[in-house]
Amino acid sequence: MTTTDQAPTPDGWDISHPADVEWAPWGANGEARVKVLAEADGYTVALIQADTGYTTLPHEHTYAEFFHLIEGSIRNQGQILNAGDVYAAAAGSVHTDLEVQSPSTYLSIFRLG
C-alpha cells in the first residue's frame, strides 16, 4: 500500500501518509474522488470528497461499514449529518439514501464482497 521512504512498515500493517496518496475517481460515474488510505483483511479505509448532490446507489452491506463526516453536510437514511457526526451500518443493513447536502469530506471504513 502507500508508505513513505522512512522506516519499513511492520508485517500486517498498512501505514500511509494521506498527503502522499493520489486522488482517484469515486462513485458509480466517478463524480466524487477518493484516497484509499489503507487496507487490511479485506477492509478499506477511504477518504472521500463529494460535491453537493452526489448520491450513492442503493446497496446492501455484506459487512459492517463505519463513517465519519469530517466536513460538510450529508443526508443519510433520512437524517442530516453534519461535520463530526458518525454512523455504523451493520452487516445486512440496506443503504437506500445518501445525498451530499454541501461539499463534504468523509472517512469510510468498509469491506466489499
Residue 6, pLDDT above cutoff 80: no
Residue 1, pLDDT above cutoff 60: no
Residue 3 within a domain:
no
Residue 8 within a domain:
no
Residue 86 within a domain:
yes
The reported pTM is 0.88
The span from the CA of 10 to the CA of 77, in Å, is: 39
Strand partners, 93: none
Range of the domain at 98: 18-111
Give the model's pLDDT for residue 9. 72
The span from the CA of 26 to the CA of 36, in Å, is: 10
What residues contact 99, with CB distance under 8 A and at least 6 apart? 53, 54, 55, 74, 75
Beta carbons of 33 and 48 less than 8 angstroms apart: yes
Residue 1 within a domain:
no
Residue 10 within a domain:
no
Per-residue pLDDT band at 113 (split at 50, 70, 90): confident
CATH number of the domain that residue 87 is part of: 2.60.120.10
Per-residue model confidence as pLDDT tens digits over 14-60: 999 999 999 999 998 899 999 999 999 999 999 999 999 999 999 99
Residue 85 within a domain:
yes
* Number of domains comprising the chain: 1
Beta carbons of 67 and 86 less than 8 angstroms apart: yes
Average confidence score pLDDT of the chain: 92
